[in-house]
Amino acid sequence: MEFDFKRYHIRSMNAGTNEERAAINQELKDLYAALSEENKKLFNEQLQHFLTKEVSRIKSDYESISGLDSPN
């Protein structure tokens, strides 16, 4: 079973209101609640992988941008 966290992430980033973002988060919570224990484990592993990858990407982007202000 594969979970498409990127789709939820993009929808959340593009949400027009806090209420819309909260509804998207609730969708994820409802999905998780409906899973079997085995699939909850997969969900958690895949979510951790997705978040680690996204944080790394953001850190890399930040370091690239902040490096523009530094002399070589």
Going by C-beta distance under 8 Å and a sequence separation of 6 or more, which residues neighbour residue 1? Answer: 39, 42
Asked whether the whole model's pTM tops 0.85, one would answer no
Residue pLDDT, tens place only, 50-70:
999 887 777 776 777 776 666
Q: Which pLDDT value is given to residue 38?
A: 98
Question: Do the Cβ atoms of 32 and 40 come closer than 8 Å?
Answer: yes
Q: Give the model's confidence band at 45: pLDDT under 50 very low, under 70 low, under 90 confident, else very high.
A: very high
Cα 23 to Cα 42: distance, rounded to the nearest angstrom: 23
The answer, yes or no, to whether residue 3 has pLDDT greater than 60, is yes
Residue pLDDT, tens place only, 14-32:
999 999 999 999 999 999 9
